[in-house]
Structure 1
Amino acid sequence: MNKKSLGIILAVTLILSLMITACGPKKAEEKTKVRIGEVTRSIFYAPQYVAISKGFFAEQGLDVELTTTPGGDKTMTALLSGGIDVALVGSETSIYVQQQGSGDPVINFSQLTQTDGTFLVTRKPLQGKFDWSQLKGSVFLGQRVGGMPQMAGEFTLKKFGINPKQDLKLIQNIDFANIPSAFVSGTGDYVQLFEPQATMLEKEGKGYVIASFGVESGKLPYTAFMAKQSYINKSKDTIQKFANAIQKAQNWVASASVDDISKAISSYFPDTQSEIIQGVVKRYKDQGSFATDGLIDEQEWNNLQDVMQAAGELKQRADYKTLVNNQFAEQAKKSVK
Structure 2
Amino acid sequence: MLFKRISVLGLALVILLAGALSGCGGKDAKTVKIGEVTRSVFYAPQYVALEKGFFKEEGLDVELQTTAGGDKTMTALLSGAIDVALVGAETSIYVFQQGAEDPVINFAQLTQTDGTFLMARDQEAGDFDWEDLKGSVFLGQRKGGMPQMAGEFTLKKHGIDPQADLELIQNIEFANIAAAFASGTGQYVQLFEPQASIFEREGKGHVVASFGTESGKLPYTVFMTKQSYINKNKETVQKFTNAIYKAQQWVQTHTPEETAEAIAPYFKDTDKDILVSSVKRYLEQGTYAESPALDEEAWNNLLDVMESAGELQERVELGKLADNEFAESAVK
Please confirm whether the aligned pair reaches a TM-score higher than 0.5, indicating the same fold.
yes
The CA deviation string for residues 139-168 of structure 1, in whole angstroms up to 9 with x for no partner, is 111111111000000000000111111111
Q: CA RMSD in A?
A: 1.9
What is residue 4 of structure 1 aligned with on the other side?
A: none
Match of 2:105 in 1: 107
**After the TM superposition, which of the residue ranges 157-166 and 182-191 deviates more from structure 2?**
182-191
The question of whether the paired residues in 1 share the 8 Å contact of 2:88 and 2:220 is answered with yes
Do structure 1's residue 42 and structure 2's residue 40 form an aligned pair? Answer: yes
Q: 1:181 is matched with which residue: 176, 179, 182?
A: 179
Does residue 79 (structure 1) correspond to residue 77 (structure 2)? The answer is yes
2:280 aligned residue: 282
Write the mapping of 1:215-234 to structure 2, written as runs, cut at 5 A. 215-234=213-232
Query: Take 2:216 and 2:300, find their aligned partners in 1: how far apart are those partners?
Result: 11
Structure 1 segments of 4 or more deviating over 6 A? none
Shift of 1:184: 2.4
The residue that corresponds to 1:125 in the other structure is 123
Q: 1:138 to 1:103 in 2, by over 3 A?
A: same
Q: State the match for 1:172 in structure 2.
A: 170
Distance 1:121 1:317, change over 3 A: same
CA distance in 2, matches of 1:24, 1:80: 41
Gaps of at least 5 residues in structure 1 are 1-16
Once the two structures are TM-superposed, the CA of residue 127 in structure 1 deviates from its matched residue by 7.7
Q: Deviation at 1:206?
A: 1.1
Q: Provide the secondary structure at the position in 1 that maps to 2:222.
A: strand
Which has more radius of gyration?
1
1:25 aligns with 2:25: no
1:271 aligns with 2:262: no
Give the C-alpha shift of residue 276 in structure 1: 1.0
TM superposition shift of 1:24 = 6.0
CA apart distance, 1:21: 4.8
Rate the CA distance shift 1:116–1:332 in 2: closer, same or farther, 3 A: same
Write the distance in 1 (CA, Å) between the matches of 2:190 and 2:276.
21
| Partner Cα separation in structure 1 for residue 37 and residue 136 of structure 2 | 31
Q: Deviations over 1:204-240 (max 9, x none)?
A: 1110000000100000100000011011011111111
Q: What secondary structure, in the 3-state scheme, does the structure 1 residue paired with 2:122 have?
A: coil
Structure 2 CA distance for aligned equivalents of residues 155 and 254 of structure 1: 28
- Please state if 1:213 is matched with 2:211: yes
Identity %, equivalent residues: 65
1:9 paired residue number: none
Match of 2:294 among 285, 293, 296: 296
Deviation at 1:126, TM superposition (A): 2.7
Given residue 324 of structure 1, which amino acid in structure 2 is its aligned partner? A
Following TM superposition, by how much is the alpha carbon of 1:23 offset from its aligned partner in structure 2, in angstroms?
Answer: 10
Report how far residue 309 of structure 1 moved. Answer: 0.7
Aligned to 1:240: 238
TM-score by length of 2: 0.92
Q: Report deviation, 1:319.
A: 2.1
Moved more, 156-165 or 309-318: 309-318
Which residue does the alignment assign to 2:66?
A: 68
| Runs of 5+ unmatched residues, structure 2 | 1-7
